[in-house]
Structure 1
Amino acid sequence: MEDERPAKGPKIVPVKNKMPASIQITAEQLLREAKEKQLEYVAPPPRQKISDPEELAEYRMKKRKELEDAIRKNRLKMVNWVKYAHWEESQQEIQRARSIWERTLDVDYRNIAIWLKYAEMEMRYKQINHARNIWDRAIAILPRANQLWYKYTYMEEMLGNVAGCRQIFERWMEWQPDEQAWNTYIKFELRYNELERARMIYERFVVTHPEPRNWIRYAKFEEQNNYVKSSRRIYERAIEFFGEEHLNERLLLEFARFEEHQKEHERCRMVYKYALEHLPKSSCEDIFKAYTIHEKKYGDRTGIEDVITSKRKFQYEEELKENAMDYDTWFDYLRLLESEGDFAVIRESYEKAIAQVPPIQVCLVLFSE
């Protein structure tokens, strides 16, 4: 016979008591208790005076255990590591402090602040070779961290190791850092009156960062050191480098001002005219102002009239860009060109004007009106 098993019935769930508790706790009571706990004064632990080596050893062992426990709880929290290393340093345990810093770097070797603090500790205790070793390791691992290079070069310069500092700068420049790094290197050489070295750095600088402001800075460096021909040559090289398509208004302005300072007023006029001919018309406002001021100061009546003529020509060209069918402006523009006497330009402008024939439908509408 088959075993007869009793059928299982539904599980009986005990009914929860939904009656309100006899003692009710309100939010006001909770806040009051929390406030009372805050107001309770907890006396600080009494200060201990260590009087013998045994007590000192016991204190250190206890403190190290606390710091190690804090690290063990969260080894990625760099504050605990730094606190531990600083405490060992305060106990004059430099070897132990080094060990802590090395352990910290094992956890996060890309942390720039850790490298800085580690090297600064060695510098405080005049452990120069140790500090150099740390800086070398740091810049090998993080060559794009400019702060490490700045600190390293500063340390070598403060030690009077000019040749060593220069070598570090050269290693830095191989990574083609930002403009500030190059300027720092140049200022370093100028502090020791190494003009030729500074010039060589500028040559590499404008190749790595060929922005107009850097060419201008290079040219002004030569001008300040009374190398006028060299300064002019740099401006000319910069204009040739950028070409007609990428000319910079500020570069040409500075070039013109340079010629004005050298009392080369004819050269200055040529620069202004070159700028007006090759720069976009929208970028010529400051050029016009500077050219006008120059001619008022150093030019004659003909020069001033040339500036005014150039400005009027510029205005006519802008108006014709907006409305090529403005025939009154075309007539004024062509008369102005005729007064200048450049037949090729006049002929070309007449052809452009003739090409601006209104559509026949417009003529029909005008006739109908």
Structure 2
Amino acid sequence: MDNVDDDIGLGKQKLSKIAKVKNKQPAPVQITAEQLLREAKERELELVQPPPKQKISDAAELRDYQMRKRKAFEDNIRKNRSVIANWLKYASWEESQHALRNARSVYERALDVDHRNITIWLKYAEMEMKNKQINSARNVWDRAVTILPRANQFWYKYTYMEELLGNMAGCRQVFERWMEWEPEEQAWHSFINFELRYKELDRARVLYERFVIVHPEVKNWIKYARFEEKNGFIASSRRIYERAVDYFGDEHINEQLLIAFAKFEEGQKEHERARVIYKFALDRLPKDKCDEIYRLYTIHEKKFGDRSAIEDVIVSKRRFHYEEEVKQNPFNYDAWFDYVRLLESDDGDGVQVREIYERAISNVPPSAEKRHWRRYIYLWINYALYEELQARDYERTRQVYKACLDLVPHKKFTFAKVWVMFAKFEIRQKNLPGARKIMGTAIGKCPKDKLFRQYIELELQLREFDRCRALYEKFLEFSPENCNTWIKYAELETILNDIERARAIYQLAISQPQLDMPEILWKAFIDFETKLEEFDNVRRLYKELLKRTQHVKVWISYAQFELSVADENSVRKCREVYRQANKEMKLNDAREERVMLLDVWKQFEFDHGDEHYLMSVEKLQPSKVKRTRRVETQGSEQSYFEEYYDYIFPDEEGAKPNLKILAMAKSWKKQEQEEQ
């Protein structure tokens, strides 16, 4: 051993001496790992060639071929007996050589290795059936179902084979052997369907009886009863339902079973029996499982029985549910809405409805914020509508409205909807003074835009125009900045053909120091004068407006107005407006607005002018340049530069050098492109 170790040590020293590399410089041509793998694969493909196809011409050559194949299969099996695929390939090859005896031998040897492998049994039996070896196939199936009785594939294929051969007695015998093992539900259904295919109704009924004993689930009892009903055994079907109810008892009673039982009795016109079953279910089942029972019971009573009894049951159940909800949270106004809606559809005299409404409105929101009162106020509104429309107690309706308005803290907030509904109720009662008093009180206590508008609309419908004028005046005293109010007031006077009064209203409106939307007010005033064809007044308005604002849209609108006036000087006047606008914007250094104005002016000259005027406008068009500016960051001393686009107009003194530079740059770029 020592000599051997010495030899090994000497060999390692020699190898280390040989493997030592002195020149560690990289080779001039580098070889990648991918290239090495590709070359190795190419050499492997060159060496491995597919074997030539062998053509067998005589018996000796066939025997030689079979001997070599069997030897190869046996070698594979010898290497690993547990690989079932090798056995199956071997048996399949023997079958292809029509050597059934050898194939059986292979299958038997495979079963010795793994007799619980389902695939081996299936392939074995299928081989026998394929080659019409019926008795051998029966033998295989018998052995398979004896060894593996819980493998349902064997039983299904075995019974299918016997039925296919017309051996009904044998097929039935196999089914009976299978049923002794109490298999799954589908197996029983297969047996029952087999008997029904051959008109053996009595045998099928017996099987169903055995089936519900082995699998006593609710759905199986229902199937059994429906099977009996379908085949005309009504009394037997009823007994099955009764047996099922007794089987499950009160502790495990099922709603689906009782529903099916009740529907069966309905189908047999036994409505009293169905009613008893529904009541039995409602008494025995938990409340959370009674929703479907209640629904079906209601439908049954509406069709065939007295509606009042079932309605009382349903209302009582739902009332209990809502009572629990409002006890847990008395400020859950949605629950109160559902509660009173239930009673409104059921209560005849209204006593219970009024009681619930009174209990609901007694839960006043503890907060003084309007958003917490919104749902609560609708309880009062619904209460008043119920008294007016359903109970038709108009005096009580009036009391409900008054109580609601007394409860609302009008100094903090109000609900205009309640005031308006109260006034409209009085109008429906032909109490016009009362309605006016209500609206006047509302405006005096808590003036709101909606209250003024509704009151004015009411007086307009009554054609009380003097009252409308008075209301508009109070409205404008309350909210003088509301442009819509001024416009509506002026429109009213226009409708009444009082033009001077309407003009005075518009004039007064535009003189207000503060307006919420002055642009729509000026537009309405200008449109008003335009419709009257008072063009001098329109020009005066435009000039007055331009003293207040130099917005480009005002100038454009002014120019378009001059163009719309149908006379011989309209184009000239329009051009003058554009020129004046351009001059003012130049003085104000409004570059963006000036560009917009020049675009509109250019289009105008293109449509209505000549080439001379068009060229004069084009000479005013600016050049667009990109510039950089410093931007200071808020809250810190840091800053950064950003690029922006600016416009250089030809008529600006400081722009002349820049324009000259831009012209030279364009000329140089054009020359460079021509040389290329």
TM range (shorter): 0.7 to 0.9
Question: Partner of 1:304 in structure 2?
Answer: 307
Cα offset, 1:32, TM superposition: 2.6
Amino acid at match of 1:80: N
Contact residue 144 and residue 177 of structure 1 kept, 8 A:
yes
Question: Partner of 1:61 in structure 2?
Answer: 67
Contact residue 320 and residue 326 of structure 1 kept, 8 A:
no
Q: 1:308-347 to 2 correspondence within 5 Å?
A: 308-318=311-321
**Secondary structure of residue in 2 paired with 1:160:** coil
Amino acid at match of 1:291: Y
Question: Partner of 1:189 in structure 2?
Answer: 195
CA deviation vs aligned residue, 1:276-335 (integer Å, no higher than 9, x gap) = 111111111111222222222323xxx2222222222223444577798899x9xx9xxx
User: Which of 88, 93, 108 lines up with 1:87 in the alignment?
Assistant: 93
Amino acid at match of 1:308: E
Question: Partner of 1:140 in structure 2?
Answer: 146
TM-score by length of 1: 0.78
Contact residue 244 and residue 278 of structure 1 kept, 8 A:
yes
Question: Partner of 1:117 in structure 2?
Answer: 123
Structure 1 distance, partners of 2:325, 2:111, is: 65
Question: Partner of 1:30 in structure 2?
Answer: 36
Structure 1 distance, partners of 2:211, 2:271, is: 31
Cα offset, 1:222, TM superposition: 0.2
The runs of 5 or more residues in structure 2 that have no matched partner are 1-8, 344-676
Question: Partner of 1:129 in structure 2?
Answer: 135
Question: Partner of 2:106 in structure 1?
Answer: 100
TM-score by length of 2: 0.44
Structure 1 distance, partners of 2:231, 2:320, is: 43
User: Which of 171, 175, 190 lines up with 2:181 in the alignment?
Assistant: 175
Question: Partner of 2:265 in structure 1?
Answer: 259
Structure 2 distance, partners of 1:237, 1:276, is: 19
Structure 1 distance, partners of 2:324, 2:112, is: 67
**Secondary structure of residue in 2 paired with 1:244:** coil
Amino acid at match of 1:62: R
Question: Partner of 2:234 in structure 1?
Answer: 228
Amino acid at match of 2:163: E
CA deviation vs aligned residue, 1:82-131 (integer Å, no higher than 9, x gap) = 11101100111010000010011011100011101101111112111111
The two structures, once aligned, show a CA RMSD in angstroms of: 2.9
Structure 2 distance, partners of 1:41, 1:283, is: 77
CA deviation vs aligned residue, 1:180-203 (integer Å, no higher than 9, x gap) = 111111111111111111111111
Question: Partner of 2:300 in structure 1?
Answer: 294
Is 220-229 or 71-80 further displaced after alignment?
Answer: 71-80
Structure 2 residue 275 is the aligned partner of structure 1 residue 272: no
Structure 1 distance, partners of 2:54, 2:223, is: 63
Contact residue 84 and residue 100 of structure 1 kept, 8 A:
yes
Question: Partner of 2:51 in structure 1?
Answer: 45
Cα offset, 1:150, TM superposition: 0.9
Structure possessing the higher relative contact order (Cα contacts under 8 Å, 6 or more residues apart): 1
Give aligned pairs, total. Answer: 318
Structure 1 distance, partners of 2:307, 2:47, is: 86
Q: Which has more radius of gyration?
A: 2
Contact residue 101 and residue 118 of structure 1 kept, 8 A:
yes
CA deviation vs aligned residue, 1:204-245 (integer Å, no higher than 9, x gap) = 111111000000010011011011111011001100100011
Structure 2 distance, partners of 1:282, 1:30, is: 75
Is 268-277 or 12-21 further displaced after alignment?
Answer: 12-21
Going from structure 1 to structure 2, the CA distance change for 1:46 and 1:240 (only over 3 Å counts) comes to same
The runs of 5 or more residues in structure 1 that have no matched partner are 1-10, 337-369
User: Which of 280, 290, 306 lines up with 1:284 in the alignment?
Assistant: 290
Question: Partner of 2:353 in structure 1?
Answer: none
**Secondary structure of residue in 1 paired with 2:90:** helix
Contact residue 215 and residue 234 of structure 1 kept, 8 A:
yes
**Secondary structure of residue in 1 paired with 2:57:** coil
Structure 2 distance, partners of 1:21, 1:111, is: 64
Contact residue 139 and residue 145 of structure 1 kept, 8 A:
yes
Going from structure 1 to structure 2, the CA distance change for 1:21 and 1:51 (only over 3 Å counts) comes to farther
Question: Partner of 1:156 in structure 2?
Answer: 162
Structure 2 distance, partners of 1:206, 1:153, is: 22
Question: Partner of 1:245 in structure 2?
Answer: 251
Structure 1 distance, partners of 2:245, 2:329, is: 36
Going from structure 1 to structure 2, the CA distance change for 1:18 and 1:232 (only over 3 Å counts) comes to farther
CA deviation vs aligned residue, 1:15-35 (integer Å, no higher than 9, x gap) = 956756998864233333355
Structure 2 residue 222 is the aligned partner of structure 1 residue 216: yes
Amino acid at match of 1:311: I
CA deviation vs aligned residue, 1:240-291 (integer Å, no higher than 9, x gap) = 1000111111111111111111121221111111111111111111112222
Contact residue 218 and residue 234 of structure 1 kept, 8 A:
yes
Structure 2 distance, partners of 1:39, 1:128, is: 49
